[in-house]
Amino acid sequence: MKFIQRKQYPNILLAGVDEAGRGPLAGPVVAAAVILDPAHCIHGLKDSKKLTALQRRSLFSKIRKHALAWSVASASVIEIDNINILQATFLAMQRAVAKLKISPQLILVDGNQSPKFSCESKAIIKGDDLVSAISAASIVAKVVRDRLMSMLDKRYPLYGFAQHKGYTTGKHIEALRIHGPCRIHRKHFAPVKESADFRQQQ
The pLDDT of 133-158, averaged and rounded, is 98
Q: What's the CA gap between 98 and 17, in Å, rounded?
A: 12
The candidate with the shortest Cα–Cα distance to 88, out of 75, 78, 77, is: 75
Q: What's the CA gap between 21 and 68, in Å, rounded?
A: 25
Domain boundaries, the chain: 5-156
Q: What's the CA gap between 80 and 27, in Å, rounded?
A: 9
Q: Is CATH 3.40.50.10490 correct for 5-156?
A: no
List residues bridging with 33 in a β-sheet.
17, 71
pLDDT confidence of residue 200: 56
The candidate with the shortest Cα–Cα distance to 135, out of 52, 53, 44, 197, is: 44
| Model pTM above 0.95 | no
Q: What is the mean pLDDT of the chain?
A: 93
pLDDT confidence of residue 10: 67
When pLDDT is cut at 50, 70 and 90, the band that residue 1 belongs to is: very low
pLDDT confidence of residue 21: 97
